[in-house]
Amino acid sequence: MKDSIYPCIWFDNQSKAAAELYCSAFPDTKLESKSAMVTLFSIRGKMFMGLDGGPQHRPNPSVSFFQVFETEAALNNAWQILSANGKVLMPLDTYPWSSKYGWLEDQFGVSWQLSVAMAPDEPADVFPSLMFTGQNNGKAQQAIDFYTNLFPNSSVALISKYEAGEHDTEGNIKHAQIHLNGYRLALMESSMDHKFDFNWGVSLVVNCETQEEIDHYWDEISKRGKPSMCGWTQDEFGLWWQIVPATLGTYMKDPVKAPKVMEAFMKMTKFNIAELEQAAS
């Protein structure tokens, strides 16, 4: 299924403004839909959800979005737009891994790693990057094993580790990339004393076609994590996931069914598809 996994970004009721900013900054970006609490937009054909959840939670650099550009001109344009009223985390410069790279936090608190393609045949792309730090430092390999075993059709694309004399703990993962049922995800570790960790600010949504799928992902992620309400559950590393029925978006676009479906799922922890269908009927 297309977009079976995609990120959800928590905004302080500014999801539409953020989506419009990204449409101006990135090529091939589209505002897909806007409802009372949710803005859906796509970047390079990949779905993103903006959730108007209020001021309680704010994204931080524990989950950033790595974007590869075909040209320096496109990268420079995005950098100029996103850095306005934002914060530079790593200046736009030449680094060992890229001839042009920078890391910034935009005005909404969303972190972006922007890089020009390293090779002529490297495709433009955008994907989340998870930073394992604090109590999770040293656990990225464990997370790679867990995630790739959890999702079908998963694979490890690359793992690069710090060597002796480099600026982090020898053996820590410098950069890794995996594919979860075709969805690209990066992981990295840092021994620095960062003042952030995974939180509700960025979660990963898993769209499920069947109750069996919901049960599988919910039970496995919650087993050593922390379940919450309305399909949200935290894994053992602190990363938040939303395990939801694929039909939920359709229900929520229907002005008649949406209130009844919302009333039903607000009482749920793990989603129950049969109960949602009954509420919608």
Task: Write the pLDDT tens digit of every residue in 235-248.
Answer: 999 999 999 999 88
Buried b (16+ CB within 10 A) or exposed e, 165-196: eeebeeebbbbbbbbbeebbbbbbbbeeeeeb
Better-scored residue on pLDDT, 251 or 65: 65
| Contact (Cβ atoms closer than 8 angstroms) between residue 9 and residue 51 | yes
Mean pLDDT of 117-126: 85
- In 70-212, beta strands by DSSP E: 87-95, 98-105, 111-116, 125-132, 155-161, 173-180, 183-189, 202-208
How far apart are alpha carbons 22 and 27 in whole angstroms? 9
pLDDT reading at 255 higher than 80: no
Per-residue pLDDT tens for 46-103? 999 999 999 999 999 999 999 999 999 999 999 999 999 999 999 999 998 899 999 9
Which domains, from first to last, does the chain contain? 50-189 (3.30.720.110), 209-280 (3.10.180.10)
| Contact (Cβ atoms closer than 8 angstroms) between residue 126 and residue 67 | yes
pLDDT reading at 1 higher than 50: no
What is the identity of the amino acid at 189?
E
Residue-level pLDDT at 43: 97
Please compute, for residue 125, the number of CA atoms within 13 A of its CA located in the half-sphere on the CB side: 14
How far apart are alpha carbons 173 and 185 in whole angstroms? 14
How far apart are alpha carbons 152 and 148 in whole angstroms? 8
Q: What is the mean pLDDT of the chain?
A: 94
Is residue 156 left, alpha or beta, with left meaning phi > 0 and alpha meaning psi from -120 to 50? Answer: beta
Q: In what helix (H) or strand (E) does residue 212 lie, and over which residues does it extend?
A: helix 211-223
Percent of the chain's residues with pLDDT above 70: 99
Mean pLDDT of 12-35: 95
